[in-house]
Amino acid sequence: MPHKPVLLREVIKIFDPKPGEYYIDATINGGGHAKAILEEISPDGKLLGIDWDCDLIHELEIKYQKLNIKNIKLICGNYANIKHIAGKHNFSKASGILFDLGFSSYHIKESQKGFSFLKDEPLDMRYSKQNEKTAEKIINNESEKAIENIIREYGEERFAAGIARGIVDYRKKKRIAGTSELVRIIGGSVPRAYLKNRLHFATKTFQALRMAVNNELDNIQTGLKDALDLLPPFGKIIVVSFHSIEDRIVKNFFKERSREGMVNILTNKPLTPSLEEIKENPRSRSAKLRACVKK
């Protein structure tokens, strides 16, 4: 299934891209948002696409070469380094910067890194191979309290203590290596009624581990701060988030900068997908879009 860009119409409406402008997609993923922006800024505009997963960047390079699209620069890197990357590639005066914090369908279906609890894969969960931390190392090496804190804080999982205890008890017998093994441990560590919830009982733990492995929350803070520094007056930032914890960081960042007189907030309340979009792309259901413009 190809990656579907979430809230695409809303992104284009807020950016309102014009021919000749420069844009940065800080999390280019499958390239859906980037493609739509490129159509508006061509032929003289340029787009810088960044992604931490070098395999994704390589796939996009092949895709854009086949389409003979030349006004895009693709960089494998972490958006926490956006200021350095943009400066190095002459994108210091971009009209807008997009952060789509959802991970790509590629990561679930093709990466074989254990992002999904629905198939058995190694417990990796790294976007970048240069990252030494893996989910397997966390659950096998960290203390019970540290694992509990990760699951509670990043996953907002109310049964974090029981799950952490289950993990530590299990690893005394053997090292935990695969996703299916972890799912069984989680299932045996939560109340039976929780197994029947609409939301899969492993969802929040997997989310928490992915966020911890990739240092996602700190990266959002750093990326937003540097993106705002990078933008010229009237430049816009759009952030699409998928978890309340991420949305809270974005909301607070925009509010603080608004109080400091640095930005005008363009979305008093976050924009969410229409029922039609959710029907076409169920993974979009939890998306929230917030935007601001630099003064």
- Ordered by start, the domain boundaries in the chain are 8-107+216-294, 132-213
**Runs of H (alpha helix) within the chain:** 8-15, 32-41, 54-66, 82-88, 105-109, 135-141, 144-155, 160-171, 179-187, 203-213, 216-230, 244-259, 275-280
Q: How far apart are CA 217 and CA 149, in angstroms?
A: 14
- Answer yes or no: pTM beyond 0.85: yes
The segments of the chain whose pLDDT lies below 70 read 1-3, 103-111
pLDDT of residue 110: 61
CATH superfamily of 132-213: Putative methyltransferase TM0872, insert domain (1.10.150.170)
List the structure tokens of 176: 């935990």
Closest CA to 48 of 14, 18, 21, 11: 21
How confident is the model at residue 1, as a pLDDT?
Answer: 38
**Which 8-state DSSP code applies to residue 22?**
E
Whether 136 contacts 176, CB under 8 Å: yes
> What does the pLDDT read at residue 105?
59
CA pair distance 137, 135, nearest whole angstrom: 5
| Digit-coded pLDDT (tens) for 189-211 | 999 999 999 999 999 999 999 99
Helix (H, G, I), strand (E, B) or coil at 122: strand
Give 238-276 pLDDT, tens digit per residue: 999 999 999 999 999 999 999 999 999 999 999 999 999
Class of domain 8-107+216-294: alpha beta
